[in-house]
Amino acid sequence: MPYEKRADGREMNELRPIQAKVGVVPNADGSALFGAGKTIAIAAVYGPKPLHPAHMKKADTGIIRCEYNMLPFSVTERARPGPSRRSKEISMITENALAGVIDLKRFPGTVIDVQIMIVQADAGTRCAGINAAAMALAHAGIVMKEMISSVAIGKIDDKIATDITKEEEDYHDGEGPTDIPFTITSNSKEITHLQLDGYIQTHRFKESIEAAKIACEKLNEIQIRALKGEEIDENKEKEK
């Protein structure tokens, strides 16, 4: 059976209903919540602050330290808390995706701590995490060249679909699923992070880059609106 229609009734290039809000963690220097459909991430930023242990210090620049974690109840089968192989990988790619846009040279020898918690997971958690982290960094008054937003583009069977869900990620008919998370800067449209899990033809890959750019533009608009004080919940808007 070919993949014609998406399970949740979305268009192929449509994002899930987005949720976004800043200032959800009052104790942090900056914080944000970002949700796409059933995926919800919270990010909190602390710093720049003195760095311990001192051997990690860099004399000419500060560093960014990200920590991605899924909460035990975020998935149906309890996720064991603490660092795992997967969460360490995602922490690292988040760090690399963000490091390109933030000005770390401003405070040498310091650290910016970014903590990302996945409250509820339904695929695309790393993208939700990066989106939340970018908003939290901006909210924390960190000097940034531009914003970044992140989206997972999938090739489900032979269709390019934007912002895929867990259900789509598990679709194994036809050509099967391919999951490509992108992180793209808001102004210069540069890619700061890209992963690919599955198989894809070169020309289809080019298509997916275009789809990602369009989706990220929409996401960026939402991030800006949220940072300007709006509390966005497209789930509720739909109900009305």
Partner 1 sequence: MTEEKQEEANELDQEKTENSIEENSKETQSNEITEDKSDNSNAEPQENKETESLSEPTNNESTHSESSIPKERKLVIPGEIIVSAEDNLPGDFTRNQDGNIVATRYGLAETYNRVVRVIPISGVFEPRRGNTIVGRVEDINFSGWSINIGGPYNAFLPLVECPRFINRNNIEDFATVGDVLAMKILGVKRGSVDLTLKSRGLGKLEGGRLIKINPHKVPRVIGKEGSMINLIKENTGTEIMVGQNGFIWLTGELAGEIKAEAAIDLISQESTSSGLTEKVEEFLKNYKDGEK
Positions in the binding site for partner 1 (CB under 8 A): 29-30, 47-50, 62, 101, 103, 107-110, 138-147, 185-188, 220, 223-224, 227-229
User: How near is the Cβ of 50 to partner 1 at its closest, in Å?
Assistant: 5
Q: Which is nearer to partner 1, 165 or 223 (CB)?
A: 223
Phi, psi torsion values for 149, nearest 5 degrees: -140, 155
Q: 30 vs 181, which CB is nearer to partner 1? A: 30
Report yes or no: 91 and 117 within 8 Å, Cβ to Cβ: no
CB of 158 to partner 1, least distance (A): 35
> What's the min distance (Å) between Cβ of 27 and partner 1?
10
> Which is nearer to partner 1, 139 or 155 (by Cβ)?
139
User: Which of 15, 1, 9 lies closest to 154, judged by CA?
Assistant: 15
Residue 203, helix vs strand vs coil: helix
Alpha helices in the chain (DSSP H): 85-99, 125-139, 166-169, 202-227, 234-239
Segment holding 173, helix H or strand E: none
Closer to partner 1 by CB, 58 or 159: give it. Answer: 58
Least distance CB 105 / partner 1 (angstroms): 11
